[in-house]
């Protein structure tokens, strides 16, 4: 039983090729090789907890991931997110490893999924990257896009000047040219590749501002309550991609749009099927595409396995 | 973050007063103070995994328990069961402790629940204890009954002479007088306090053998497939007690009997309500009582918290 600290995880992470690993996870999921039961959820007075678990056939481990968000934590000097990942043997049930990542691997695998969505769905020429939100995920999404998208011009939207300034000062040294705005409409007017990464419960981006040839990766909404895009955006979208169709029927932007009758379940395409080539991704630069990422346990399985193996070498 | 080994757990366990702790857990559950989502389940090629989790309001921790059963393990020299328990802060989500109990605390809290059922439901004079099964739980149930039931005469049923002999040789030095049988009918004819602890998928005890004044604690069946009592037994039972009514509607003996129309949902009584005194337990020595124990996360919450606190003193 190997206990792996956050420090050890941070040390091995840069040497792991996460994009192909997590792509494999999505393909395993969409081809029925992964068993991923519905997400366990625990609502506490001060926070919420998600338990994601499952396994991929022919792999050595089953994985359980516990991730929490406690919104009052920053007031007492603690990060909002926390959690850990557990690996167990698929052959005997024996615990193999506890990864004390404090929720960091969830952040990373989420950002990597954004990069994967970009790889298959971004327009061939990204003019300007739009980032909606200024938090941890708004930073990580941009960092992991570096490998996939050449564009270095970024427009970031946030509610507070202070957070926008912080975002700028942190991301500019990485080689991005960052403009900031508090007008969300500008994002859809100026950017053709957009990532939304807020915990909003009311739409931030509105269909009246949507332009042809736009891609949006919506990764903020992962519960039935959260919503970043008005349902009109999904109605106008040519290709609506879910990380997991069964999960998106119950949570996220797709759930909201289905509920509003803006899209039909038959219109949905799963990310893993685009990665494997069994269904096409973006086929023209005029299309509007949306990837709704709610987070699937296969991402946790793949990142936990990769980190454990890197630490065991 | 405190990692607690199996050795440390075994060391502190004898000094913890588990019966009142777990009684409190059942009462919290039955009075709505515990949040216990449905059990997570993972079926693998070689085994099965249960994830139980939840919290009790006004307590410091939320608990996640992972417990597995891999039936082929003994062939390769490993125990069938494994698993661990995790404590997290209810205030911040921070991981507090990993209890590397290898499934042992699940065994113990299950045995303690059996003792609690005996405390409230056993006939005033236990003539002979009947144990159905010869495995780990068949041993632990008897050990934890020591504190509650004076009777030391035991009839044990099993399918193999070898396992019966092992059971005898292990339990007799603890002060029990053990007879063994391979005729299950004898259990109901000779014993008025019975514990069933097998993974049977076909009834072992049959209603034709049932005698007035019998109590049966059925703790083997914890899935929709498993069954130890024919549904006629529950039909003839005066008081059918569930550890958790919602859980017993979906798994265990009660599930089977409801499905067969042998009992009605309104007939069910919850163990926590008997412990708190809000509904009566056994009221006469002629009654037939059955406690169907499927295992509730409150037991895990209580035992994990007690062990962690004992290790932190």
Average pLDDT over residues A159-173: 97
**Res B32: pLDDT:** 97
Average pLDDT over residues B99-108: 95
**Res A299: pLDDT:** 97
pLDDT surpassing 90 at residue A123: yes
Clarify whether residues B292 and B304 are in a common domain. Answer: no
Clarify whether residues A59 and A159 are in a common domain. Answer: no
Query: Cβ–Cβ of B64/A62 closer than 8 Å?
Result: no
Buried b / exposed e across B173-199, counting CB within 10 Å, b at 16+? eeebebebeeebeebbebbbbbbbbbb
- Residue A44 pLDDT grade (very low, low, confident, very high; cuts 50, 70, 90): very high
**Res B148: pLDDT:** 96
- Smallest CA-to-CA distance from A188 within A200, A213, A205 is with A205
pLDDT surpassing 90 at residue A233: yes
**How many percent of chain A have pLDDT more than 90?**
97
d(CA B24, CA B302): 8
Surface of B (94-113) touching A: CB under 8 A: 94-95, 98, 100, 102
Total count of domains within chain B: 2
- Residue B223 pLDDT grade (very low, low, confident, very high; cuts 50, 70, 90): confident
CATH of residue A201's domain is: 3.40.50.720
User: pTM of the full predicted structure?
Assistant: 0.88
Query: pLDDT tens for residues B181-217?
Result: 999 999 999 999 999 999 999 999 999 999 999 999 9
- The parent domain of residue B54 ranges over 2-105+298-312
- By Cβ distance, the residue of B3, B51, B57 closest to A40 is B51
Residues from chain A that touch B46, judged by Cβ atoms under 8 A, are 90-92
Clarify whether residues A113 and A203 are in a common domain. Answer: yes
Clarify whether residues A95 and A112 are in a common domain. Answer: no
Clarify whether residues B175 and B305 are in a common domain. Answer: no
Clarify whether residues A226 and A203 are in a common domain. Answer: yes
Query: pLDDT tens for residues A267-290?
Result: 999 999 999 999 999 999 999 999
Tokens found for residue A206: 């509105």
Clarify whether residues A58 and A147 are in a common domain. Answer: no
Query: pLDDT tens for residues A134-144?
Result: 999 999 999 99
Active site residue A65: yes
- Residue A313 pLDDT grade (very low, low, confident, very high; cuts 50, 70, 90): confident
- By Cβ distance, the residue of A1, A68, A93 closest to B49 is A93
ipTM of this complex prediction, to 2 decimal places: 0.86
DSSP letters for A251-307: SHHHHHHHHTTSS-GGGEEEHHHHHTTSS----STT--EEEE----HHHHHHHHHHH
pLDDT surpassing 90 at residue A222: no
Clarify whether residues A44 and A78 are in a common domain. Answer: yes
Clarify whether residues B122 and B253 are in a common domain. Answer: yes
Clarify whether residues A290 and A155 are in a common domain. Answer: yes
Clarify whether residues B7 and B127 are in a common domain. Answer: no
Clarify whether residues B22 and B99 are in a common domain. Answer: yes
């Amino acid at each position: 039983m190997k206990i792996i600290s956050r420090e050890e995880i941070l040390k091995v992470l840069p040497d792991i090729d996460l994009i192909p690993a997590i792509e494999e996870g999505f393909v395993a999921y969409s081809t029925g090789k992964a068993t991923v039961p519905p997400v366990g959820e625990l609502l506490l007075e001060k926070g919420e907890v998600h338990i994601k678990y499952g396994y991929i056939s022919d792999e050595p481990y089953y994985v359980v991931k516990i991730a929490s968000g406690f919104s009052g934590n920053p007031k007492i000097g603690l990060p909002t997110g926390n959690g850990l990942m557990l690996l167990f043997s698929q052959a005997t049930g024996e615990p193999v490893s506890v990864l004390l990542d404090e929720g960091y691997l969830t952040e990373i695998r989420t950002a990597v999924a954004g990069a994967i969505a970009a790889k298959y769905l971004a327009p061939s020429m990204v003019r300007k990257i739009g980032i909606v939100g200024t938090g941890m995920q708004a930073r990580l999404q941009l960092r992991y896009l570096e490998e996939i998208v050449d564009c270095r011009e970024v427009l970031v939207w946030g509610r507070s000047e202070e957070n926008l300034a912080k975002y700028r000062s942190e991301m500019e040294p990485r080689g991005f040219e960052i403009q900031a705005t508090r007008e969300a409409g500008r994002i859809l007017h100026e950017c053709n590749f957009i990532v939304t990464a807020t915990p909003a419960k009311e739409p931030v981006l509105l269909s009246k501002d949507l332009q042809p040839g736009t891609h949006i990766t919506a990764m903020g909404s992962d519960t039935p309550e959260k919503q970043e895009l008005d349902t009109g955006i999904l109605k106008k979208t040519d290709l609506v991609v879910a990380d997991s169709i069964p999960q998106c029927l119950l949570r996220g932007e797709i759930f909201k749009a289905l509920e509003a009758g803006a899209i039909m379940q038959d219109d949905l395409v799963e990310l893993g099927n685009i990665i494997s080539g069994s269904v096409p991704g973006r086929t023209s630069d005029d299309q509007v595409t949306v990837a709704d990422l709610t987070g699937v346990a296969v991402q946790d399985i793949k990142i936990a396995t990769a980190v454990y193996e890197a630490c065991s070498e």
